[in-house]
Amino acid sequence: MHAIRHLTVLVLLVGSSVSCGTPSRHDAQPAEPEMAMFDMMDPAAMAEMMALAQPGPEHEILARYAGEWQGEISMSMGPGIEPITHVSPASCRMILGGRYLQMSSAGELMGQTYDSLTMLGFDRRNNAWTLVGLDTVGTYWVTGVGKQDEQGVIRMHGRDDSPTGPQVYFFEMQFVSDDEFVSAVYFTEVGGQTYDEPFKMVEVHYTRK
């Protein structure tokens, strides 16, 4: 497993070993140490590493949700506050060799337009669902990692340390059918304020166009 975790670092090191211009005497020496790890690896470990690097059954599930969607969004600014509702289209496609489902959407909220980008994947090394989200509301990103429960709900937990204090949250996603899925964001702490019960800030009900 250590070899699997170090693979990305190794790729970066190999890429950074390429230089331009006239090589120095040191550069002229054979540059093969980067491959020593592979030479020493057990063939079974190498085969496992290569297998886990490929998309699996969970990625086949994600691929079923490529296409065009309509999202009905309900958003609340705090516990007990009446939610704001609006509709936003979304477009989903598989990227990076079928490893991630990329969802892009655009809409308007409280008179302001926004764009968002979400990538949903599955880490086969750790058997965990993963999420990365970005939007034009801020200049940062959020992440989540988690499991799927017996009811089919994927719950991915994350944390963001903002200048006003930590934000602790989790994403929930449930694939209802090939033409319907639901996504929600719950907060358990915002800016140092802890909620007795998870506060659902956003829920989006997607249906295929």
Tell me the per-residue pLDDT of 18-61, one tens digit each, with 9 for 90 and over.
334 444 444 555 555 555 556 677 888 888 888 899 999 999 99
Does the pTM surpass 0.85? The reply is: no
The rounded percent of the chain whose pLDDT value lies above 90 is: 66
Mean pLDDT for the stretch of residues 127-134: 98
Both tokens assigned to 65 = 């949700």
Domain extent listing, the chain = 2-53, 58-208
- What is the average pLDDT across 130-144? 95
Q: List the one residue out of 165, 184, 166, 164 whose CA is nearest residue 174.
A: 184
When mean pLDDT is compared across 66-80, 86-100, 108-122, 157-171, the lowest value belongs to 108-122
**pLDDT (0 to 100) of residue 157:** 98
**Residue reference for tokens 């939610």:** 83
CATH number of 58-208, picked from 3.40.50.970, 1.10.645.10, 2.40.128.20, 3.30.360.10 = 2.40.128.20
